[in-house]
Structure 1
Amino acid sequence: MKIRQLLVVIDPTQEAQPALQRAAWVARRNGAALELLLCEHQSALEGGLLDGPRLQHARDGLLEQRRAWLEQLAEPLRAEGLTVTCETRWGRPLYKMILARVGELKPDILFRNAYQHSLLQRLLFTSNSWQLIRKCPCPLWLAGAREWQPKRLCAAVDPLHSADKPAALDHQLLAISRELAESLQLQASYVHAYAPLPRTMVFDAELVADYDSYCRKYGEQHRQAFDRLLAGYPGAEGQGHLVEGFAEQAVPRFVEEQDIDLLLMGAIARGHLDNALIGNTAERILEAVRCDLLVVKPQGFGSSDQT
């Protein structure tokens, strides 16, 4: 994964910009260029008392103010020697404006703020975030509000593809996580969660009689598949963690126990509707974790038919 161009969505309604902090941190280590993107829309400037020329003038004036603010954010980074450009756009919905710029710029990673609930201490996603999770063709980094002093990243994989995702996506996650760990000087690990069929849902008499043996065999099947997956990546086998439990519970628990700073997950969109799911398991994991997320799509995923 070559990191040459980063796109950062700036939220004009927030003072803190964790996505910019993360992107600048990555750029310092990779020499990548940054673009700061701010998309603006005010319903008061959609018509009403103002005529066409005055309406456009008001919009242009607001965008000029926003660009001046972006330039203020960019100046300290440029003083460090980073390459930073600024872009403002008018329109809505926000996710479509972002995806349009992604299609033009073709960044290696898109950064956006996630929002952290002060009581639950987990990430909260707006509808625009969910649309980007489902439709953004490049890796999407969702940054939380917690202090950023990263040490560990982890890739969640599914070697038996029970979540109905392509086998190649696990290999993408492994390759990207190893490259990021090296370039960003982070410790990499890999996690796979499995859950045998609960005893209460087993209706086969023979299986019920030997339920413990079934659980052992089921676990061994996942262990072998996990080992085969990691075997192709030197050094990865010792960093693999097989955890028992439903993924939406076991993976967030593992992330918290291991103090993971960045979780990599694969996602595939199902269907072309605006409310298309990426899969219940993946969505529940995304909703439950407290660390930053990097969501990766299968190679060849395009946004042209997703917007």
Structure 2
Amino acid sequence: MRLFSNVLYVVGPDDAAPALARAISLMREEGATLTLVSVVETMVSGSPSGTFHDELAEAFNALRHKRLDHLKLVAAGVPDGIETVCEVMDGRAYMEIIKRVQLYRHDLVVATVSEDGSPANRLFVSEDMQLLRKCPCPLLLLKRASVGAFASVMAAVDFDHADLLNTEEAGHHLNDDIVDLAVVIADQDKSDLHIANVFTVPGEGAMIAGWIPMAPENLSDYAGRCEAAASEMLDQLVQASETRLDLDLFASNRIKTHIVKGRARAEIPALADTLGTDLIVMGTIGRVGIPGFLIGNTAETILGAIDCSVLALKPDGFESPVSPG
């Protein structure tokens, strides 16, 4: 099963063939379009005129031609049945990518990222985070060191969207999309799939501190009920995905669910490390229909802490603050 038909692949200067294969693996086999792009930073306006300016402009033009030749070389590896477009764009990378997504209605952006060794940001650097915050379509950021088949995939779902989304229905729809995409990838890669939810016990801290009177046995029962509710919703998500997709993965023992108590910003990266996760599929939540409300603090904290590839989805109705004009 292939889900995407109009993919934008941001080609880096040293992208390997497995990264291209990864992008193609998510595309429809017939009637799909793969656009290969490279972005050259625009020459600074107001640069001095004269010989230096002319030499600088010539150097930029030479770079554009070199990038286009590289794109054509990459395009040679695209199989028949997929239309291929090559384009070199000028400007700030994340801005130009998002504008093209809006103008040409791309349904997936794929890019590879370099690992950043700083402890504050283990993988994603500023350009990547801008894309994660503002790109309106699904975004697959591949860790360059492991762009082949994924051995372990995690779908991170959130049942507590009421304060972030206009409707609970949009939140449930996003969870469905997260699980379905993770299932498709795990099925075709023959990988393990872990579907995880981190739940909280509302008011637990105040109850433990005595601000809200609650007997210990009642608090334990209350926490158990919260966990049971989360577990039931997670089971329903998996069952609904099996009904929609009917893939071999559901008949295997490679799907495992995880219900973890705590805060998602801490527990999801910890669980990913424990499981040796290669790809996390998750939502980046912003208020639907309100440009400027971009990415939830929890999601951004998670993305700053993980050390694997990520497939990030926005809810239906998300509006990017980047204007396509």
Cα drift, residue 249 of structure 1: 1.4
Q: Sequence identity of aligned pairs in percent?
A: 25
Instruction: Map 1:287-298 to 2 at 5 A.
Output: 287-298=304-315
Instruction: Give the Cα separation in 2 of the matches to 1:36 and 1:46.
Output: 30
Instruction: Give the Cα separation in 2 of the matches to 1:170 and 1:79.
Output: 32
Flag the 1:162–1:137 CA change in 2: closer, same or farther, 3 A: same
Match of 2:211 in 1: 204
Flag the 1:69–1:211 CA change in 2: closer, same or farther, 3 A: same
The 8 Å contact of residues 123 and 144 in structure 1, kept in 2 or not, is answered as no
- What amino acid is aligned across from residue 262 of structure 2 in structure 1? G
- What amino acid is aligned across from residue 274 of structure 2 in structure 1? E
Cα drift, residue 46 of structure 1: 5.7
1:132 matched to 2:95? no
The 8 Å contact of residues 8 and 37 in structure 1, kept in 2 or not, is answered as yes
Match of 2:246 in 1: none
- What amino acid is aligned across from residue 24 of structure 2 in structure 1? A
Match of 2:22 in 1: 25
Match of 2:112 in 1: 113
Once the two structures are overlaid, the 10-residue window that deviates more, 151-160 or 278-287, is: 151-160
Instruction: Give the Cα separation in 2 of the matches to 1:226 and 1:162.
Output: 18
1:226 matched to 2:236? no
Cα drift, residue 45 of structure 1: 7.2
Cα drift, residue 290 of structure 1: 1.3
**Structure 1 stretches of 5 or more lacking a match?**
none
Cα drift, residue 306 of structure 1: 4.0
The 8 Å contact of residues 116 and 124 in structure 2, kept in 1 or not, is answered as no
Instruction: Give the Cα separation in 2 of the matches to 1:199 and 1:301.
Output: 35
Flag the 1:119–1:283 CA change in 2: closer, same or farther, 3 A: closer
**Normalised by the size of structure 1, how large is the TM-score?**
0.80
Cα drift, residue 163 of structure 1: 6.5
Flag the 1:213–1:291 CA change in 2: closer, same or farther, 3 A: farther
Cα drift, residue 5 of structure 1: 2.8
Cα drift, residue 191 of structure 1: 0.3
Instruction: Give the Cα separation in 1 of the matches to 2:23 and 2:191.
Output: 12
Match of 2:173 in 1: 168
Flag the 1:218–1:162 CA change in 2: closer, same or farther, 3 A: farther
Flag the 1:65–1:299 CA change in 2: closer, same or farther, 3 A: same
The 8 Å contact of residues 190 and 240 in structure 1, kept in 2 or not, is answered as yes
Q: 2:298 aligns with which of 252, 260, 281?
A: 281
Say which SS state the counterpart of residue 145 (structure 2) adopts: coil
The CA deviation string for residues 205-253 of structure 1, in whole angstroms up to 9 with x for no partner, is 522xx24542442243233233234325436796321012221111111
The CA deviation string for residues 6-44 of structure 1, in whole angstroms up to 9 with x for no partner, is 2111234xx3x26x7334224147435432211102546
Match of 1:158 in 2: 158
The CA deviation string for residues 169-214 of structure 1, in whole angstroms up to 9 with x for no partner, is 212212322233334443322101124434797342522xx24542
Instruction: Give the Cα separation in 2 of the matches to 1:129 and 1:78.
Output: 25
Match of 1:242 in 2: 259
- What amino acid is aligned across from residue 186 of structure 2 in structure 1? A
Instruction: Give the Cα separation in 2 of the matches to 1:222 and 1:229.
Output: 11
The 8 Å contact of residues 199 and 226 in structure 2, kept in 1 or not, is answered as no
1:3 matched to 2:7? no
Say which SS state the counterpart of residue 243 (structure 1) adopts: strand
Match of 1:253 in 2: 270
The 8 Å contact of residues 109 and 137 in structure 2, kept in 1 or not, is answered as yes
Report the aligned-residue RMSD: 3.4
Cα drift, residue 152 of structure 1: 2.2
Flag the 1:204–1:192 CA change in 2: closer, same or farther, 3 A: same
Flag the 1:200–1:3 CA change in 2: closer, same or farther, 3 A: same
Instruction: Give the Cα separation in 2 of the matches to 1:199 and 1:23.
Output: 51
